[in-house]
């Protein structure tokens, strides 16, 4: 069956406040803000928008505020060709908002206002759009909703990509295991993968035996590691001038999936993903400097 959608991203769309501070203050202290700007964000929307810019046919399931379709962000999605028919619009609520603070060490702390995203808990699984997708990507969002979507996708023999991201702490051990058992690919940065292993009291081999055939661990400036039954692949990060690391992980996932879904090898997919994310971190904002497929492919070939 030919699917109309290459990749369905499920999870947050958000307005991002990107804030730079010299260092994080202790409790009951303050710190100066050296820069603050507002950008388009949200992990699922980042994946859908970057993926669309790379040539994928993407769709998005996010819970957004009642006025979202009047915003520049919605127009941006429409211009990119992201299928927004399955957005959950919640009248009287605000679109989720993220406050992402980055210090001089490039460490981050985030605060997230859920707003309309609270509606995920009461929402039905978007079964029709899942059935019409080649793959789904579960990003930050409501754990129970993500689990129900993973069940639907697995029952339809659809590839499930899972990245709990900074919402990992919202998953209890059982729910985390349940979603991972349905996942084909598990993404996480090195902190998150370690936390998952600790929570499930297992190692990488045991984690793969639970469900995901592929585990992708991103390690910032140290590149990425991909684990499968055949091998461990290590990919160097492409060295560029880092302006803002926010969104690097989401763009990596979009880049990886864009090649993997087109039949490329794990190594090729990871190298391309690294190239895509290298563009994002050269500018502030998760979607400000999205590369085209040709731009990312050229940089990948130049570096590797």
Q: What is the pLDDT of residue 1?
A: 56
Instruction: Indicate the pTM of the whole model.
Output: 0.93
Closest CA to 123 of 105, 144, 150: 144
Where do the domains of the chain lie, and which CATH numbers do they carry? 5-13+43-82+121-303 (3.40.1190.20)
Q: What is the pLDDT of residue 2?
A: 61
Q: What is the pLDDT of residue 124?
A: 96
250: annotated active-site residue: yes
Residues of the chain with pLDDT under 70: 1-2
Q: What is the pLDDT of residue 245?
A: 86
Which of 163, 167, 178, 250 does the annotation list as catalytic? 250
Q: What tens digit of pLDDT does each residue of 239-263 get?
A: 999 988 889 999 999 999 999 999 9
Burial, 222: exposed, middle or buried (Cβ in 10 Å; 0-12, 13-18, 19+)? Answer: exposed
């Amino acid at each position: 069956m030919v699917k109309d959608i290459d990749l369905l991203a499920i999870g947050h769309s958000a307005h991002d406040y990107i804030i730079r501070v010299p260092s994080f203050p202790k409790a009951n202290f303050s710190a100066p803000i050296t820069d603050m700007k507002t950008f388009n964000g949200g992990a699922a929307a980042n994946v859908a928008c970057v993926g669309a810019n790379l040539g994928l046919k993407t769709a998005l399931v996010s819970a957004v505020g009642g006025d979202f379709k009047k915003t520049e962000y919605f127009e941006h999605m429409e211009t990119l060709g992201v299928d927004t028919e399955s957005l959950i619009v919640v009248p009287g609520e605000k679109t989720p908002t993220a406050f992402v603070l980055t210090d001089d060490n490039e460490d981050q702390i985030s605060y997230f206002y859920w707003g309309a995203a609270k509606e995920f808990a009461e929402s039905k699984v978007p079964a029709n759009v899942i059935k019409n997708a080649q793959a789904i990507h579960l990003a930050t969002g409501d754990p129970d909703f993500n689990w129900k979507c993973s069940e639907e996708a697995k029952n339809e023999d659809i590839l499930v990509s899972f990245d709990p991201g900074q919402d990992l702490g919202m998953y209890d051990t059982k729910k985390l295991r349940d979603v991972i058992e349905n996942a084909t690919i598990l993404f996480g940065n090195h902190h998150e993968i370690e936390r998952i292993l600790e929570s499930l009291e297992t190692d990488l081999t045991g984690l793969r035996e639970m469900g995901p055939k592929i585990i992708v661990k991103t390690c910032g400036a140290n590149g990425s590691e991909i684990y499968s039954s055949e091998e461990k692949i290590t990919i160097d990060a492409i060295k560029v001038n880092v302006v803002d690391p926010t969104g690097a992980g989401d763009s990596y996932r979009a880049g990886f999936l864009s090649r993997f879904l087109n039949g490329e090898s794990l190594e090729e997919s990871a190298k391309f993903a690294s190239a895509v994310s290298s563009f994002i971190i050269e500018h502030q904002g998760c979607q400000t400097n999205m590369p085209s497929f040709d731009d990312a492919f050229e940089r990948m070939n130049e570096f590797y």
